[in-house]
Structure 1
């Protein structure tokens, strides 16, 4: 049964493969700003915050990227992965204009199956095919410490809960 979220009052169905706390993150292959393929293995030995969002050109997504960039200044041995369906150039341009340097922007342009495997693929509504807004936190060994599929796309994730998971 798919998960249900909303966009204001419009119900949206999302793929139901969301990893749970204690699970190991599944393999992924995404694209960075140099159009290079990047996999989960690229971040071996680092703690991870995976930040999924539909696209950088919405106020909520833009603010989430800004907020995580600020938080990233204080996190040791932790990478923040901003993951969307945007082209890598779009996210790079946004972060350059905003002077954001603490996140790694990754595009699903050649890895959209990741959205399905991570349980964030929007399956219904005009946004079908994009990732839902979600935060996942994993340790150095890719074990999931925290998962939040944000209930409404117009809301930001619970950053405090993600940070608390990192401090355990």
Structure 2
């Protein structure tokens, strides 16, 4: 099955299926800000918010990082993973300039198969090959609790819906 998003009403197909509620998150290995390979295993025992976005150089992406940083401070035992195609250096500069100390950025510069495995890879448009804007929440055991594919890339996700599943 193929999902879709859009950029200013221009439809963009997103490959494969997003994980279903209750499904275990698939394995991934991406690159952190120190250029080290990091896998899902590194976050075992913590609740996870996976924030996929195409690139930091858009208002919606930048605002999402700021918003999630603020919200994340209120969530015990929860890690927020910002996942994009941005190079680790780019994200480090952004987080430093914005005084975002809780940023955990994982780059798809290695491990791009993760985008397909998680069903977030944009297949069409000039943005093909980048992740769609998706907010995913998983519990301490990597069970998916919430998934949102944002239907318009220039919009931010529904933070309240994502956080609601963590407050049950």
Q: Does the pair score TM above 0.5? A: yes
TM norm structure 1: 0.98
Instruction: Output one character per residue of 1:87-132: Cα deviation in whole Å (capped at 9) or x when no partner.
Output: 0110110000000012311100001110000000000000000000
Structure 2, unmatched stretches of 5+, are none
Q: Which moves more between the two structures, 133-142 or 101-110?
A: 101-110
TM norm structure 2: 0.98
Find runs of 4+ consecutive structure 1 residues off by over 3 angstroms. none
Partner of residue 73, structure 1: 73
* 1:59 paired to 2:59: yes
Aligned partners of 1:68 and 1:103 also within 8 Å: no
Partner of residue 95, structure 1: 95
Partner of residue 44, structure 1: 44
- Post-superposition offset of 1:154: 0.7
* 1:160 paired to 2:139: no
SS at match of 1:99: coil
Aligned partners of 1:30 and 1:110 also within 8 Å: yes
Would you say how many aligned residue pairs link Structure 1 and Structure 2?
A: 168
Aligned partners of 1:30 and 1:109 also within 8 Å: yes
Partner of residue 151, structure 2: 151
Aligned partners of 1:5 and 1:152 also within 8 Å: yes
Structure 1, unmatched stretches of 5+, are none
**Alpha-carbon separation, structure 1, partners of 2:9 and 2:158:** 20
- Post-superposition offset of 1:16: 2.1
- Post-superposition offset of 1:167: 1.1
